[in-house]
């Protein structure tokens, strides 16, 4: 029984034979030869090169035409490759130039322009600078001292009145606010357009004095207008500055304070 089973082939393993030779697959015919590569003599023979298959190598005529057209085709292909390489090199150089470009270099100005720019800055004498600094420091110290005096006067009045601590703190805040407003008014530059002329009070050697009213506060002021050209020509600059300082420091009911 065992021998019979061994002699019988297995049903799940079919016996198939595989050929060793490769199977030739059907191929499409090659495309026709391009007409632009054909020679002038062979252009009129469509049956030689434009057939479905390749040209017959046994025919010498077809062999010569094929060789000639192949040579010309190679030459034209070489020219096209050279042109492409030239174009590609040109494009590369253009791209390199675009990448190499940097920010523009600032142009240096001539010495004349620098001299003109320096000449715009006014130069003053050491005496004028000394006079300005003395006046400036004096005004700063005077303003600070006046501020301290007002604060001391407020403290004395509050101690006499017997105000509570909260009321005293409120009065100090009000004083600080008034000091801030006063400093802001002192820093503001006044212009002739901020006043309205009412009447001419008098005419002097260098200008006139007018009664004016301020537009925003409607307060009355006496405005003195001077012609600087006449002051400089008559050498009266020091006299005008002294008059200004006296009017600013005057504390008398008969003198109009500047």
Cα angle 22-23-24, degrees, rounded to a multiple of 5: 110
- Is residue 224 annotated as involved in ligand binding? yes
Instruction: For residues 140 and 242, give the distance between their C-alpha atoms in angstroms, rounded to a whole number.
Output: 18
Q: Which helix (H) or strand (E) holds 225?
A: strand 220-226
Other beta carbons less than 10 A from residue 38's beta carbon: 22
Instruction: For residues 138 and 210, give the distance between their C-alpha atoms in angstroms, rounded to a whole number.
Output: 30
Give SS3 for 211: strand
Quick check: 243 and 252 in contact, CB under 8 A? Answer: no
Cα angle 121-122-128, degrees, rounded to a multiple of 5: 145
Binding residues: 224
Binding residues for ATP: 224
């Amino acid at each position: 029984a065992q021998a019979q089973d061994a002699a019988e082939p297995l049903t799940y393993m079919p016996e198939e034979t595989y050929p060793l030779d490769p199977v030739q697959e059907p191929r499409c015919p090659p495309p026709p030869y391009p007409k632009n590569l054909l020679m002038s003599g062979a252009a009129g023979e469509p049956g030689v090169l434009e057939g479905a298959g390749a040209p017959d190598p046994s025919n010498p005529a077809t062999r010569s035409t094929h060789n000639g057209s192949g040579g010309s085709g190679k030459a034209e292909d070489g020219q096209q490759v050279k042109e492409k390489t030239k174009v590609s090199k040109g494009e590369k150089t253009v791209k390199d130039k675009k990448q190499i470009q940097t920010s523009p270099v600032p142009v240096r100005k001539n010495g004349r322009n620098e001299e003109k720019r320096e000449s715009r800055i006014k130069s003053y004498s050491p005496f004028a600078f000394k006079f300005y600094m003395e006046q400036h420091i004096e005004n700063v110290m005077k303003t600070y001292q006046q501020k301290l005096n007002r604060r001391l006067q407020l403290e004395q009045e509050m101690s006499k009145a017997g105000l509570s601590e909260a009321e005293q703190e409120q009065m100090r805040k009000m004083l600080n606010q008034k000091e801030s407003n006063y400093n802001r008014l002192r820093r503001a530059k006044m212009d002739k357009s901020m006043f309205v002329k009412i009447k001419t009070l008098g005419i002097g050697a260098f200008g006139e004095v007018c009664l004016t009213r301020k537009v925003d506060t409607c307060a009355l002021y006496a405005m003195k207008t001077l012609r600087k050209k006449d002051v400089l020509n008559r050498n009266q600059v020091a006299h005008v500055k002294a008059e200004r300082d006296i009017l600013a420091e005057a504390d008398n009911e008969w003198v109009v304070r500047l």
